[in-house]
């Protein structure tokens, strides 16, 4: 699975959009981009995933560049409860043998 690179930390004002970048320059054609987040002392929570088209759900939007070498997770109106570590992971899917390998992620601090 391709490796990802994320900034260590980011701040965002409450109510504003939070844009979290992720680089995955070695991504293969059959690898998806997954985003999870982990709020302190809880298990990771699935947010969104995509292959090459932009995706949107009730939690967030995922923008994937045309060359698929990077992506951005967008939380449109960040709240204090969105403060968490956000992980961008690349893996082959769907698969029942695909491991999720977690990097260090981005710690997002939403401030009042």
Give residue for tokens 């298990």: 43
Of 46 and 77, which CB lies nearer to another protein in the complex structure?
Answer: 46
Q: Which residues bind another protein (CB under 8 A)?
A: 34, 36, 38, 41-46, 49, 87, 93-105
Quote the CA–CA distance of 80 and 92 in Å, as a whole number. Answer: 32
**Pairing of β 18-23 and β 70-75:** antiparallel
Taking the complex as a whole, the smallest distance from the CB of residue 15 to another protein amounts, in Å, to: 26
Nearest approach, Cβ of residue 83 and another protein (Å): 16
**Of 28 and 57, which has the nearer Cβ to another protein?**
57
7 or 14: CB nearest another protein = 7
- Return the structure tokens found at 9: 């930390």
* Smallest distance from another protein to CB 51, Å: 10
**b/e per residue 60-70 (b: at least 16 CB within 10 A):** bbbbbeeebeb
Nearer to another protein by Cβ, of 35 and 78: the residue is 35
Map tokens 């893996």 to a residue.
Answer: 91
């Amino acid at each position: 699975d391709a490796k990802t690179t994320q900034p260590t930390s980011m701040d965002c004002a409450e109510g504003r959009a939070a844009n979290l970048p992720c680089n995955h320059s070695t991504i293969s054609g059959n690898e998806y981009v997954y985003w999870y987040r982990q709020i302190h002392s809880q298990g990771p929570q699935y947010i969104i995933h995509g292959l090459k088209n932009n995706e949107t759900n009730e939690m967030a939007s995922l923008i994937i560049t045309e060359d698929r070498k990077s992506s951005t997770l967008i939380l449109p109106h960040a709240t204090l409860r969105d403060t968490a570590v956000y992980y961008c992971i690349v893996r082959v899917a769907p698969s029942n043998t695909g491991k999720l390998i977690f990097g260090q992620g981005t710690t997002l601090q939403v401030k009042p």
